[in-house]
Structure 1
Amino acid sequence: MEPGKIADVYPLTSYYFGSKEPKKEKDEFLSDRILRMKSNFMRDGLRRCVEGIILVEQFKHPHVLVLQVRNSFFRLPGGRLRPGETEIEGLKRKLSSKLSPDTVDPEKEWQVEECVGMWWRTGYDTIMLPYCPSHAKMPKECLKLFLVKHSASQTLKVPKNMKLLAVPLFQLHDNAKTYGPIISSIPELLSRFSLNFICN
């Protein structure tokens, strides 16, 4: 990526926040998730996932919008792609599912920009790595992170069983204990960008 890439950041006060019907969690326990991943891998092969990095400004600092699930762990909005679905199409669908009013057209609501990071899972129960090891002949999952640009004013509605938090970059940096290795890597991934704060 060329140096000096600019990312526009709008103030958090530009957005209206609401709630919508809860999204049912597919897995209650880790063992359930592993069984589902094994079944899907046997049917579809490599699990392809996408997540979006959405930046906002608050108190003159860049923040990332993060979902908190069950008051216990954090994730970026996104999820698994359907077979044959492109990364851009799938991420727009997932962003709308997690963050938009149900009546919104995903194609018009979100502008997905470039991929800024890629993570790999080599086994069903292993942690994700920011590279694919040479010995991993059949990795089980590939996750791509995309920078997402949105409009200057937008309505965001989150399922009632989740919370949407604006977390400052300095709080994410080197904080894998709280946010996990992927979310805590975002400040480094964005260090190649010049952040352009846009006032109301």
Structure 2
Amino acid sequence: MASIPPDAQQSTLPPPTGLPFDARQPDSDTIRLYPLSNYTFGTKEAQPEEDPSVKDRLRRLEEHYAQHGMRRTCEAVLVCHEHNHPHVLMLQIANAFFKLPGDYLPPDQDELPAFKNRLNDRLAPTGSLSTRAPTAESQDWDIHSTLAQWYRPNFETFMYPYLPPHTTRPKECKKLYLIRLPPGKVLSVPKNMKLLAVPLFELYDNTARYGPQLSALPHYLSRYRWEFVDEEGKVVAWTPGGSVDERVGTKVLAGGEKAAGDEEVRGEE
């Protein structure tokens, strides 16, 4: 008996309506980047991952699809600079894999408000750090533009930056949004995770360490013109700029509670 193709496992629910891809495209492609020293980083209570393994994560995806249809996921690309080179902020979980801040969205909530709630869960300050945020506006998330859209056609780890042919009901759609970081932003990471600042040259063509999604970030970000601002607020450099400063490298900004059973470091699929 012939097996049923994975894409034939169709949900009875129609795909949820999302924002069109160009809904957040910018009028201007010049982005100002502020130095790491302009920001405050701290830690807060641990947030254990819901899925202890990839198998468990895919099983939960199947349950979500059966109840709600395609799952929506949004992740944030937060960029600052160190020695006039762009760095992407990302999380390292259990010293095992890297991922961008964000998560899957509740099926009954609008995309952008739900995405901002997810970012607050991961990165909003608590305790004494929250008092350093002078206004509510300074803690809002300035979503600038849509960088990419990835699809998971089956209940597997593979995702693609396009909708594969003959796939009418993808199981998950992941969007990457560029978010502008204003100077003075306060970020707090769960203490069982690390918040890293990873330079673009470290990500580029490095799928073995960071996976296909994260290693593609330099390609996505190359469309922008970057202005590098110093601590006094003056534009001191811009892309393409000069050679990379030898002091540039990945920096651990906060977090990093040691976890038992650490796995090989890898990027999230």
| Length-normalised TM-score, structure 2 | 0.70
Q: Which of 28, 51, 54 in structure 2 is aligned with 1:30?
A: 54
Higher relative contact order, chain-length normalized (CA < 8 Å, sep 6+): 1
Q: Percent identity?
A: 40
Q: Partners in 2 of 1:28 and 1:196 — Cα distance?
A: 41
Greater displacement, 96-105 / 180-189:
96-105
Is 1:56 aligned to 2:56, yes or no?
no
Name 2:181's counterpart in structure 1: 150
Is 1:67 aligned to 2:91, yes or no?
yes
Name 1:99's counterpart in structure 2: 123
| Length-normalised TM-score, structure 1 | 0.94
Q: Partners in 1 of 2:174 and 2:79 — Cα distance?
A: 19
Q: Which of 168, 190, 196 in structure 2 is aligned with 1:165?
A: 196
CA contact (8 A) 1:92 1:107 kept: no
The one-letter code matched in structure 1 to 2:220 is L
Report the 3-state secondary structure (helix = DSSP H, G, I; strand = E; otherwise coil) of the residue aligned with 2:162. coil
Name 2:103's counterpart in structure 1: 79
Is 1:174 aligned to 2:205, yes or no?
yes
Q: Which runs of 5+ in 2 are unaligned?
A: 1-24, 232-269
CA contact (8 A) 1:109 1:150 kept: no
Name 1:117's counterpart in structure 2: 148
How far off is 1:181 after superposition?
A: 0.7
Task: Give me the CA root mean square deviation.
Answer: 1.9
Q: Which runs of 5+ in 1 are unaligned?
A: none
- The alignment covers a number of residue pairs equal to 200
Report the 3-state secondary structure (helix = DSSP H, G, I; strand = E; otherwise coil) of the residue aligned with 2:112. helix
The one-letter code matched in structure 2 to 1:70 is A
How far off is 1:108 after superposition?
A: 4.5
Q: Whose radius of gyration is greater, 1 or 2?
A: 2
Judging changes above 3 Å, is the alpha-carbon distance between structure 1 residues 158 and 2 closer, same or farther for their aligned structure 2 residues? closer
